[in-house]
Amino acid sequence: MKKGQTEIIGLVIVVILITLGMLFIAQFSLKERSEKKIFTRKGLAYSSMSAILRTTVAEGDCIGSYRPTMEEVLVDCAKYYSLDLSIDSLYQCQYPTQTNQRRHSCIFFKDAVTDLLGKTLGSWNKHYEFRTWIIPSPTASAEDTTNLFGPEGERGTIQEEGCPGERDVSGLQPIQAGNAGLLENEIYICD
Amino acid sequence: MKLFKKGQINITETVGVLFVFFIIILFGIIFYYNYQKIALKERQEELLGARAIDTTLKALFLPELICSNGDAEPKDNCMDLLKVRYITQTNFFKTDKKMQEYYFEIFSYSRIAIKKLYPQEEPEIVLYDREKIKMLDDGTVVPDWQRKEPTFFIITLRDETAGSVGAVQYSFGYLIVEVYA
C-alpha cells in the first residue's frame, strides 16, 4: 500500500470518529424537556391552588359556628386588609400549629398555606411561590395593586426558596372580593 | 531479493494499519456498548416515570373515587371520602378474581393511597396495593421489584358526613401513587 493511501485511511478514520462524537454530543444537548414533566408540574400547581381554596376551616377554629372555606377567608382578608392589620376581620380564626389565639384572617390564611404547602410541596423537595394580590378596579395600574403577604411595593409571596428560573404556574385564579376589588392568586412550582 | 524484502515491508505495513484499524473499531464497539447500557437504564427510568404519571392520572379520574355531582361534570382533583371508605371497607378492588384482573389492567403493579392533612390529619388510607412478588423454591413469597417510583398529587377530599347538616366539608390532602419496577 502506498504511503498516500495509508494516510488517507487514517484521515477517514479520524473523520468518522469525530462525526460519531459530535452526533453523541448533539443527542444530549438537543434533548427536550419531557412534555409529561411539564404537564405534571402544571397539574400539580393547579390542583394545589384549587385544593387550598376549596378547603373548609376546621370546626372550632373560627369564632362562631360557621365554618368558612379558605377562599372565603382570603376574601375576608382582602376586605379587611390594612398594612398593620389593625382592622378586625370578620373571621377570627386560629391555625392548629400557632398559639391558641384567634387572629386576623390574613394571618390565619398565611399560616395555613405556609404549613400545608410546606408539608406537601416542601417535603417533596419542590420549590414554590404562592402569590396573591388585590386589583382595586378594572382600570388600576400595577402600582395600585396590593399584595397581601409581603412588603409594600413588591409582589408578596409565601414561598419555599422561590422560583426565579424555569417554573410552571397554576394559572390566575381570580376571585371577586366585593368592594375590595378583584383578588388574583397563583402558585409557581419549580424543581 | 530486494523486491522480495520490499514486498514484505509493504505487507507488514498493511497488516499494521489494519491491526490498528481493528483496534480502533474494537474501542468503538466497547464504548458504544457502555453507552447503550446507560441509555437503556435511562430509558427504563423514563418509562417508569411515564407509567407513574399514567397511573396517577387514572387514579385521579377514576369514577369510583372522583367527586361526582349526579349528571353534572365531576369536580376535578377531588376524591369523595364516602366512596373511599366504601372501597376500603369492602376491599372493593379485590372483591373477586374478575375485579382483581380488571383493576390490575388499569393500575398494574402499584400502590395507591391518600392522606388527609387538614382539617384533621389522619393516617394514610391505602386504596390499591399490588406488589410484584415471587415464590421461592421453599414456598416463601418475597418481593420481586428493584425499585418504586412515587408520585404525589395534592387533592381535595370531600366528605358529606363531616360537616354540619346540609354542609359539605372539603379537606386538604394528597394522593400517593407508587409504581413497582
| C-alpha cell recorded at residue A12 | 477517514
Task: Give the closest of A17, A36, A47 to B154, CB-based.
Answer: A47
Across the range B24-42, mean pLDDT stands at: 86
Give the pLDDT of residue B154.
94
Give the pLDDT of residue A129.
85
Cβ within 8 Å of B, A 39-78:
39-40, 43-44, 46-48, 50-52, 54-59, 61, 65, 67, 69
B16 touches chain A (CB under 8 A): no
User: What's the gap in Å between the CA of B106 and the closest CA on chain A?
Assistant: 19
- Please determine, for residue A145, whether its predicted confidence score (pLDDT) is greater than 70: yes
pLDDT one-digit tens code per residue, B4-15: 688 888 888 888
A35 touches chain B (CB under 8 A): no
Give the pLDDT of residue A31.
61
Across the range B56-77, mean pLDDT stands at: 89
A123 to chain B: nearest residue by CA? Answer: B152
| Mean of the per-residue pLDDT values of chain B | 87
| Mean of the per-residue pLDDT values of chain A | 80
Under DSSP, the state recorded for B94 is G
- Please determine, for residue A69, whether its predicted confidence score (pLDDT) is greater than 90: yes
pLDDT one-digit tens code per residue, A156-191: 456 666 677 777 888 878 888 888 888 888 888 887
- ipTM of model: 0.77
Give the pLDDT of residue A153.
38
Task: Give the closest of B21, B167, B174 to A13, CB-based.
Answer: B21
Give the pLDDT of residue A51.
95
Give the pLDDT of residue B141.
86
pLDDT one-digit tens code per residue, B117-166: 998 899 999 999 998 888 888 888 888 888 888 889 999 999 988 766 66
Q: Is the dihedral of CA A153, A158, A162, A166 positive or negative?
A: negative
User: What's the gap in Å between the CA of A172 and the closest CA on chain B?
Assistant: 17
Top-confidence range, A61-65, A140-144, B92-96: A61-65
H helix or E strand, kind and range, residue B48: helix B2-60
Instruction: Give the long-range contacts of residues A39-44, CB within 8 A, separation 24 or more.
Output: A39/B53, A40/B53, A40/B56, A40/B151, A41/A168, A41/A189, A41/A190, A41/A191, A42/A168, A42/A169, A42/A170, A43/B153, A44/A121, A44/A126, A44/A189, A44/B152, A44/B153, A44/B154
Do strands B148-159 and B72-80 pair parallel, antiparallel, or not at all (unpaired)? parallel
Asked whether A93 and A80 are in contact (CB, 8 A), the reply is no
Residue A151 binned pLDDT confidence (cut-offs 50, 70, 90) = very low
A13 touches chain B (CB under 8 A): yes
Angle, nearest 10°, between helix axes A70-79 and A35-54? 70
pLDDT: which is higher, B166 or A133 = A133
CA–CA distance, A85 with A105 (Å, rounded to integer): 9
A105 touches chain B (CB under 8 A): no
Q: How many CB atoms lie within 10 A of CB B87?
A: 17
- Please determine, for residue A152, whether its predicted confidence score (pLDDT) is greater than 50: no
Scanning the structure block, which residue is given the C-alpha cell 494499519?
Answer: B17
Give the pLDDT of residue A100.
61
A12 to chain B: nearest residue by CA? Answer: B21
Concatenating the DSSP letter of every residue in A148-167 gives SSS-TTS--EEEEB---SS-
- Please determine, for residue A59, whether its predicted confidence score (pLDDT) is greater than 80: yes
A34 touches chain B (CB under 8 A): yes
User: What's the gap in Å between the CA of A153 and the closest CA on chain B?
Assistant: 31
Percent of chain B surpassing pLDDT 90: 35
A-chain residues within 8 Å CB-CB of B174?
A: 120
Angle, nearest 10°, between helix axes A3-29 and B2-60? 10
Q: How far are the Cα atoms of B56, B57, B65, B126 from residue A44, in angstroms, in the given order?
A: 11, 11, 18, 21
pLDDT: which is higher, B52 or A150 = B52
Residue A74 binned pLDDT confidence (cut-offs 50, 70, 90) = very high
Residue A84 binned pLDDT confidence (cut-offs 50, 70, 90) = confident
Q: How many CB atoms lie within 10 A of CB B70?
A: 5
Residue A154 binned pLDDT confidence (cut-offs 50, 70, 90) = very low
